[in-house]
Chain A
Amino acid sequence: MIVLENVSKIYKNGTKALNDFSLEIQDGEFVYIIGETGSGKSTLIKLLNGEEIPTKGRVLVNGTNVGRLRFGKVPLYRRKIGVVFQDYQLLKNKTVFDNIAFALEVINKSKEEVRKRVKEVLEIIDLANEFNSYPTELSGGQQQRVVIGRAIANNPSILICDEPTGNLDPRHSKEIIELLEKINRSGTTIIVVTHDYVLVDTYKKRTILLDNGSIVSDDSEGGYIHV
């Protein structure tokens, strides 16, 4: 479960990114976070993955107070959450298999464990036949699926996606959302930060609209939101 209690974030340059922000996301939910540029979406992601600490308030993820985590504990915390960004961030000199395996290797999983889990992940992301391809040989949608595969390799309980369809055409965007729905059905909490209102309207989920670091609306039914 994710709980943000009266969180404010003011950067060193004085920018107020979040303003007395409170939010609760239950285990297994699928949530869209939408809003204009500068509304606080990116800061929210940074707070959730321990990249930033709140100026005020508490960020609790599965009972862990993320803002109070010591630096040495941040890597261990990050193994429990997956993060996907808009720019695919794949290692171009590694194959699809190796890119996914990388996430397991850096946390010292055995070769056997890596091989077994990567195979499972390749099935989930529907790229079993492309395991030996390099990122440059894949379409944008396929690359993003590999990134998602890498993010879920450690079986995280939460998957945070920052504009996962930002660089994709509608067909590939649809594939990505359907993949995220599939992952969500297995119990993983999904948070999607997006500008793609068409997608939000098509695949209706709980939708939180941010503006100037505050929640403007939190609609559990979802759908198109007039900003």
Chain B
Amino acid sequence: MFRRIGRAFKEAWWGIRHHRAMVFSTVVTISITLAILSILGVLIANINQITYDIEEEIQVFVKIDNDVEEKDIEELQLKVSRISGVAGVVYSDADSELTYFIEQYGESGSIFEIYRDDNPLSRAFIVSVSTGFSISEVSKQIGTLDGIAEVNFGGFAIENFISLLGGIRKAGLVLALAIIPLAIYLIYNTIKITIHSRREEIGIMRLVGATNSYIRIPLVLEGIFIGIIGAILPCVGTVFGYQYFYEQMNGQLISGILKLVDVFPFTLYVSAILLAVGVFVGLIGSWWSATRSLRWKR
């Protein structure tokens, strides 16, 4: 068993050494592919983080009609929470609203304490939404309920911004999925050349009774090695490149609200994914090539 594994590794390494030029060009192309994948991964992860942060921040402020009696509040809260897209509803009575209002003004806010006994503020629901895309729709539906005086949210600009981020994320995913088959095809061709250059040896192997798996395993290993070698530079580039970018941007984008994903362990996860993709494209490309080329025909 170990002898067989050792032989497979030895032959895979032989293949790499003997087709250096072809292997080099494949490795370079795979490195470029994985680097693009890394950039897309970093972009998508940061978009996710920004979207999540915004969604955490944005809330719908729902003023309750003054005519609604205290005993009906709970039922109204239930109705709001049942609306699709609502993640949570917190009730804030008029007194709490005044406290919050006073806190907003810091020390000077205490002058509003005079309203404590004759509070002009309304009772409210603070509604959080499950996704930023649904904020206007949720607000609209809350507004149709009886007993709701006013509904406020950050406005359509936030919704459009989240929508834009979502669009970029989707485009990134599509691009990432589109370039993986290209890498697989490149490995397919490299292994095909290896098989062609070793056709005499493979012919003898078949003549003396070697099984297809015996012939195929070193070729598949060769493909995996190429995938791993191709992943090394993008992995290193991801860790150091993102660290540099993070430091240059002070860990934030535009303002303190839009925070970048921390360098660690994020870059290690991205590197692990790149390595896994390298192994995957190597495995699939070489398996495909070996299986097609070694197919028995009679």
Contact = CB atoms under 8 A, between A and B. Distances in A.
Interface string A62-81: 00000000011011111100
A129 to B, nearest CB: 24
Interface of B: 3-4, 7, 200-201, 203-212, 214, 296, 298
B298 A91 contact: no
B298 A53 contact: yes
A83 B206 CA distance: 11
Interface stretch (A101-109, A182-190, A209-217): A101-109
Contacts of B201: 91
Contacts of A103: 204, 208-209
Contacts of B296: 71, 74
Contacts of A89: 200, 203-204, 207
Contacts of B214: 106, 108
Nearest to B1: A108
A78 B204 contact: no
A79 B209 contact: yes
B208 A79 contact: yes
For chain A, give the interface size range: 20 to 34
B209 A78 contact: yes
A188 to B, nearest CB: 16
A91 B207 CA distance: 13
Contacts of A150: 204, 208
Dominant secondary structure of chain B at its interface with chain A: helix
A72 B296 CA distance: 9
Nearest to A74: B296
A29 interface: no
Nearest to A76: B209
Nearest to A92: B200
A52 interface: yes
A142 B207 CA distance: 20
B211 to A, nearest CB: 5
Given A51-B298, A53-B298, A91-B201, A106 B208 contact: yes
Nearest to B210: A106
Nearest to B203: A89
Given A89-B203, A91-B201, A107 B298 contact: no
Interface string A147-185: 000110110000000000000000000000000000000
Closest 10 CB pairs of A and B: A79-B209, A106-B210, A78-B209, A103-B208, A71-B296, A75-B209, A75-B211, A106-B205, A52-B298, A107-B209
A154 B209 contact: yes
Contact of A102 (B206, B208, B212): B208
30 contacts: A49-B207, A50-B298, A51-B298, A53-B298, A71-B212, A71-B296, A72-B211, A72-B212, A75-B211, A76-B209, A77-B209, A78-B206, A78-B207, A78-B208, A78-B209, A79-B209, A83-B207, A89-B204, A89-B207, A103-B204, A103-B209, A106-B209, A106-B210, A106-B214, A107-B208, A108-B3, A108-B214, A111-B3, A154-B208, A154-B209
Nearest to A70: B296
B75 to A, nearest CB: 71
